[in-house]
Amino acid sequence: MTEVLKLDGLTLTLEQLEQIALGAPVRLDEQAQERMNASRALVERIAQGDQPVYGINTGFGALAETPVERSDLARLQRNLVVSHAVGVGQPLETEATRALMALRANVLARGVSGVRVQVVERLIELLNRQIHPHIPSKGSVGASGDLAPLAHLAMGIIGEGKGRQANGPWRPMTELLDEAGLAPIELQAKEGLGLTNGTQAMLAVGSMVLLQAERLADLADVTGACSLEGLRGTNVPFDELIMNARPHAGQTESARRLRALLRDSDIMASHKDCGRVQDPYCLRCMPQVHGATRGALEHVRSVLEVELNSATDNPLIFAEEGRSISGGNFHGQPLALALDYLAIATAELANIAERRIEQLVNPALSGLPAFLTPHPGLNSGLMITQVTAAALINENKVLCHPASVDSIPSSANREDHVSMGMTSANKAVSVINNVGRVLGIELMTACQAIEFHQPLNASPGVQAAYETVREVVEPLAEDRALSEDLEAMDLLLRSGLVRRRAHAAAGL
């Protein structure tokens, strides 16, 4: 039976968020409901008073000084939602959409946003019924948070816009709600603002892609170990003495994994006394390069873990102190910088992997048949797979320019510095997908190189990776169209099977 995960605004983890994104059910914590009721009571007192408080009885952004009549407060919140639903482009993938819904519910559950419990309960109901609003991926500048994506999320709650059940066709939300026996919610004072202010779109996309990047960091050690075996390299540079002399945690971890993955190799033992003095950097410096990426990802994780349980709307409602305070927690700069760093750091895994691909296919460097075909000349072998890797890496180099170095003022210059964090998140998705494909090319190429060392076996870890690849991609004896093989490799690596089997065989 699937565990029901609790949302309390305080304890959500990245791993739990991924479970929800993949379909796990959720519920609202009882203590969170008490906190929400307390802050809601304060909002309702403010709404009945004459003191202007931003977003409760005033306009928004540059209209913050414009008062709104008490009779129009509900209409004000609805107008905020529909006027800000200006997203464009492809919708978020289902997993990112579910992560966004869960994150927004979790933020509101912290109890300092002043929305009613039933608003969060509706988000949870939609999650548990697999009803997902249509949320375009573009249109946010990352302050006042992700306004456009969050407005499209709020549209689903009030029964406007479109959505879909699971991954079905897009349909009007009114139809989906009616079929589920749910009436659209009429937002009350502060609730439209509570739903649309915050960083949850960039955080949702960034969280999913960080977890993917962390797995790619582990996978890069596996594919690199396979390339080293194919190129008859040595594991000596990964010695603990070398690592202890420069004890960066990521470097130490990658070296530990490489030592385990390369242990007890017949191929390595066969050339132990060869005349080669040093391997090229792309082999010898794997701990240093892969490890630096690990260190960067650890920093990104620390930023995202704080944001998961942070209140990021405005104003914040502090019931115990009896105060509504306007501030800037919606600003996405911490995430924008971290997600740009994520893309840059992960791209390096592909950069160094492409150099290993070149070592493998170039006969002047590998000592193996040209382009790893038994009959070069008549056959081109894996010549052009390196070209595909180069094309993907070129795209990454363009995408790795930081979005966070830009700021375009908005809302009549009231919002005069913005983070562009959603752009950082969207770019990171493309970069990480490209990295995965390059690692797939490397692994397929390394396995083809290992063919030429038979009947010698690679290390148990590498052999496990090789045998897993051979379940979906045959050795290349004669030229064939390799596009389908590359697609099969991408799906295989996304499944995690290569990484898990290699780790198990190596004792990791």
List, in order of start, the domains of the chain with CATH numbers.
Answer: 5-198 (1.10.275.10), 206-314+341-506 (1.20.200.10)
**Cα–Cα distance for residue pair 253/243, rounded to 1 Å:** 9
Query: In which residue are the tokens 């004459």 written?
Result: 50
Do 104 and 86 contact (CB within 8 A), yes or no? no
Q: Is the pLDDT of residue 461 over 90?
A: yes
Give me the mean pLDDT over the 265-293 stretch: 91
Give me the mean pLDDT over the 190-213 stretch: 96
**Cα–Cα distance for residue pair 217/294, rounded to 1 Å:** 7
pLDDT at 133: 98
Structure confidence at residue 374 as a pLDDT band (50, 70, 90): very high
pLDDT at 271: 84
In 173-306, DSSP assigns E strands to none
Q: Is the pLDDT of residue 411 over 90?
A: no
Do 198 and 108 contact (CB within 8 A), yes or no? no
Query: In which residue are the tokens 């699937």 written?
Result: 2
Do 499 and 222 contact (CB within 8 A), yes or no? yes
Peptide bond into 455 cis (omega under 30): yes
How many degrees, rounded to 5, is the angle at CA 124 between CA 137 and CA 41?
105
Structure confidence at residue 272 as a pLDDT band (50, 70, 90): confident
> Whole-structure pTM over 0.85, yes or no?
yes
pLDDT at 273: 75
pLDDT at 346: 98
Report residue 372 as tokens: 């790893």
Structure confidence at residue 359 as a pLDDT band (50, 70, 90): very high
Q: Is the pLDDT of residue 71 over 90?
A: no
**Cα–Cα distance for residue pair 192/76, rounded to 1 Å:** 8
Q: Is the pLDDT of residue 60 over 70?
A: no
Report residue 356 as tokens: 């290993």
pLDDT at 490: 98
Structure confidence at residue 69 as a pLDDT band (50, 70, 90): confident
Q: Is the pLDDT of residue 61 over 70?
A: no
Structure confidence at residue 50 as a pLDDT band (50, 70, 90): confident
For this structure, is 54 an active site residue? yes
Do 126 and 132 contact (CB within 8 A), yes or no? yes
- Longest distance between any two alpha carbons in the chain, whole Å: 87
Q: Is the pLDDT of residue 324 over 80?
A: yes
pLDDT at 73: 79
